[in-house]
């Protein structure tokens, strides 16, 4: 059975970066096959991984709607969409990437989201790991992209406010009854050690701290040059932290 890893948190905290680096760490370790899921309508996971997105679920839905009268004979709309989504899986570097895309028009968001959820059920079992990069904030969580999450990482920036909002997101996930195995806090873009106030906030949260990721100049440079995170040297401090988190929280636990 696949291990489902979801990354969530406030906007701009580093969800996509953490998801991409975890994927890279799983591949570097040769721990197994990966289905990467970009569940953020503002899709950036493909670019961050350096994988060209052929098509998005939202794009396929719109395309299908525009040519309902030209579908292959004997194929229902749902079957056709499913077929197209399978075809659209971008497979590169040992990763299969599924991208939700931005639904347009009223009612489309819910339809595309429920398609993603249904597709995930069927697709993810073909992979050892499913890594989901989520949309920022809380509201989308209620749409439950995944009905089960084995390991949830809530990413926070390096601030008291950041940690507090990570905790609110975490509470919301639980209150919605999503089946979450284990959840962890990841503090990202840290400039130095945690301040006593942040440390206290983390301790009181009841959320286990998976790790503190340093602000990495190399990531900023790659982002400015629009280069994938796979170009980050393995010796970068953040890669060491991510490798440890991946080993301890994802790979080692059976
Ligand atoms: N540890 C880090 N060191 C330096 N820069 C970082 C680090 N983590 C993330 N960044 C940069 O911060 C910016 C936001 O990161 P990212 O896109 O991963 O956040 P996000 O939470 O996915 O954002 P969004 O809410 O828009 O989806 C990016 O430019 C990224 O390159
Ligand atoms: Mg993102």
Query: What is the rounded distance in angstroms from the CA atom of residue 64 to the CA atom of residue 80?
Result: 8
User: In the chain, what percentage of residues exceed pLDDT 70?
Assistant: 96
Backbone angles phi, psi at 167, to 5 degrees: -70, -35
Q: Tell me the domain boundaries of the chain.
A: 3-251
- Mean pLDDT across the stretch 218-241? 95
Q: Which two tokens stand for residue 110?
A: 């819910």
57 C-alpha to ligand 1 centroid (Å)? 24
- Segment holding 243, helix H or strand E: helix 237-245
Q: What is the per-residue pLDDT across 101-121, written as a single tens digit (0 to 9) for each? A: 988 876 777 888 888 888 888
**Weakest-pLDDT range from 112-116, 130-134, 148-152:** 112-116
Q: Ligand 1 site: residues with CB under 6 angstroms?
A: 9, 11-17, 40, 44, 136, 188-189, 213, 215-216, 219-220, 223, 238
- Segment holding 172, helix H or strand E: helix 160-175
Question: Are 36 and 98 a contacting pair, CB within 8 Å?
Answer: yes
Map residue 6 onto helix, strand or coil. Answer: strand
What is the pLDDT, as a whole number, of residue 104?
83
Q: What is the per-residue pLDDT across 185-205, written as a single tens digit (0 to 9) for each? A: 999 999 988 889 888 888 887
Map residue 149 onto helix, strand or coil. Answer: strand
Give the mutation target among 17, 19, 43, 131 for probing the ligand 1 site: most ligand atoms within 8 A of CB.
Answer: 17
Residue 141 has pLDDT above 70, yes or no: no
Residues β-bridged to residue 9: 155
CATH H-level superfamily of 3-251: P-loop containing nucleotide triphosphate hydrolases (3.40.50.300)
Query: What is the rounded distance in angstroms from the CA atom of residue 45 to the CA atom of residue 31?
Result: 20
Residue 145 has pLDDT above 90, yes or no: no
What is the pLDDT, as a whole number, of residue 143?
66
What is the pLDDT, as a whole number, of residue 198?
85
Question: Are 119 and 57 a contacting pair, CB within 8 Å?
Answer: yes
Query: What is the rounded distance in angstroms from the CA atom of residue 29 to the CA atom of residue 162?
Result: 31
- Mean pLDDT across the stretch 68-95? 90
Residue 138 has pLDDT above 70, yes or no: no
Q: Which two tokens stand for residue 120?
A: 């995930």
CB neighbour list of residue 63: distance below 8 Å, 6 or more residues apart: 84
Place of tokens 């920036």: 157
Could you tell me which residue, 71 or 242, shows the higher pLDDT?
242
Q: What is the mean pLDDT of the chain?
A: 91
What does the radius of gyration of the chain's CA atoms come to, in whole angstroms?
18
Residue 254: band (very low, low, confident or very high) from pLDDT cuts 50, 70, 90: low
- Mean pLDDT across the stretch 2-12? 94
- Mean pLDDT across the stretch 47-51? 95
75 C-alpha to ligand 1 centroid (Å)? 42
- Mean pLDDT across the stretch 36-60? 94
What is the pLDDT, as a whole number, of residue 252?
86
Ligand nearest to the CA of 169: 1
What is the pLDDT, as a whole number, of residue 142?
61
Most confident of 59-68, 144-153, 169-178, 240-249: 240-249
Map residue 183 onto helix, strand or coil. Answer: strand
């Amino acid at each position: 059975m696949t291990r489902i890893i979801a990354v969530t948190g406030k906007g701009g905290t580093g969800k996509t970066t953490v998801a991409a680096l975890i994927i890279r760490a799983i591949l570097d370790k040769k721990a197994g096959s990966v289905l990467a899921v970009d569940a953020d309508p503002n899709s950036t996971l493909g670019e961050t991984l350096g994988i060209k997105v052929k098509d998005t679920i939202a794009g396929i839905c719109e395309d299908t709607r525009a040519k309902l009268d030209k579908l292959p004979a004997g194929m229902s709309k749902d079957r056709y969409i499913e077929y197209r989504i399978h075809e659209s899986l971008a497979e590169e570097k040992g990763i299969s990437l599924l991208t939700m895309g931005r639904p347009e028009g009223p009612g489309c968001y819910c339809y595309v989201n429920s398609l993603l959820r249904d597709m995930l059920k069927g697709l993810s079992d073909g992979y050892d790991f499913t890594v989901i990069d989520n949309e920022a904030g809380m509201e989308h969580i209620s749409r439950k992209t995944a009905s089960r999450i084995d390991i949830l990482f809530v990413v926070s920036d390096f601030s008291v406010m950041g940690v507090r909002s990570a905790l609110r997101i975490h509470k919301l996930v639980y209150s919605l009854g999503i089946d979450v195995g284990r959840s962890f806090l990841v503090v990202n873009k840290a400039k130095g050690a945690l301040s006593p106030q942040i440390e206290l906030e983390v301790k009181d949260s009841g959320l286990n701290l998976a790790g503190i990721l340093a602000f990495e100049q190399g990531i900023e440079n790659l982002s400015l040059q629009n280069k994938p995170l796979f170009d980050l040297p393995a010796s970068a401090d953040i890669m060491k932290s991510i490798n440890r988190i991946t080993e301890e929280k994802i790979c080692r636990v059976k």
